[in-house]
Amino acid sequence: MSNESQNAYEKSAIILEQHKILTSASEIHGMMVGMLSGGMSLDNRDWLEPLADFINEGEALSDEVKQHLLAVFNDTCQQLVETEFSLTLCLPDDAAPINERGHALIDWVHGFMLGFGLFQADLTKCSDDVKEALQDFSEIAKMDEEMTPDEESERALFEVVEYVRVSSMLCFNELGKPAEEDKETPTVH
């Protein structure tokens, strides 16, 4: 995991903890990616209030938390539209205990499924690849076994993280919507 993504996770976790928000940074990021991958437009800002309801038990978010979430959202949008497949999941650093990282991945997948479901209720529009990825995400979200801190478990976790990352981008590339400005640009045939 890059230093930048580690810092993003740590910064999010600290801000959420300071404001007594119990939802994990991983789950919130997963929700953002899920909403975007489910079809929410990149320039939609109507997500902040429902997210606040979910993560802060209906209470308004502080300006600091709002600004942080908007920055994370904007960074996530940028990662999703880049051609280098640069999406980085908001997870603890590789030095964190394997079970902490595994639980964070499960939180991320839970968030993704929730966010995706808010914007994509009609799975008949989805390709078989997206349907398979969503089914796999459903199975990943049910995982609760503790992992042994060994090389085999590290490799398995890495592979699952990479699968989730690539599958999320697949969902976005198939169902995600560009910013409104992009829609207004006429296409010449």
144 within 8 A of 116, measured Cβ to Cβ: no
Q: What pLDDT does residue 85 have?
A: 74
Residue 95 burial (CB < 10 Å; 0-12/13-18/19+)? Answer: exposed
CA 164 – CA 37 distance, rounded (Å): 12
Q: pLDDT tens, 6-22?
A: 578 999 999 999 999 99
CA 93 – CA 77 distance, rounded (Å): 22
Least reliable range by pLDDT among 3-7, 93-97, 110-114: 3-7
Mean pLDDT of 119-124: 84
**Percent of all residues in the chain with a pLDDT value above 70, rounded to a whole number:** 91
Is the confidence at residue 86, as pLDDT, over 50? yes
Q: pLDDT tens, 133-181?
A: 999 999 999 988 888 889 999 999 999 999 999 999 999 999 988 765 4
Q: What pLDDT does residue 187 have?
A: 41
Q: What pLDDT does residue 97 have?
A: 95
Domain boundaries, the chain: 3-175
Is the confidence at residue 186, as pLDDT, over 80? no
Is the confidence at residue 93, as pLDDT, over 60? yes
**Percent of all residues in the chain with a pLDDT value above 90, rounded to a whole number:** 65
> CATH number of the domain at 3-175, please?
1.20.120.740
181-184 LR contacts (CB < 8 Å, sep 24+)? 181/43
Q: What pLDDT does residue 27 have?
A: 96
Q: What pLDDT does residue 183 have?
A: 45
Q: pTM, whole model, 2 decimals?
A: 0.89
**What mean pLDDT, rounded, does the chain reach?**
88
Is the confidence at residue 129, as pLDDT, over 80? yes
> Where residue 96 falls among pLDDT bands split at 50, 70, 90?
very high
Residue 95: which of 163, 149, 159 has the closest Cα? 149
Mean pLDDT of 84-113: 94
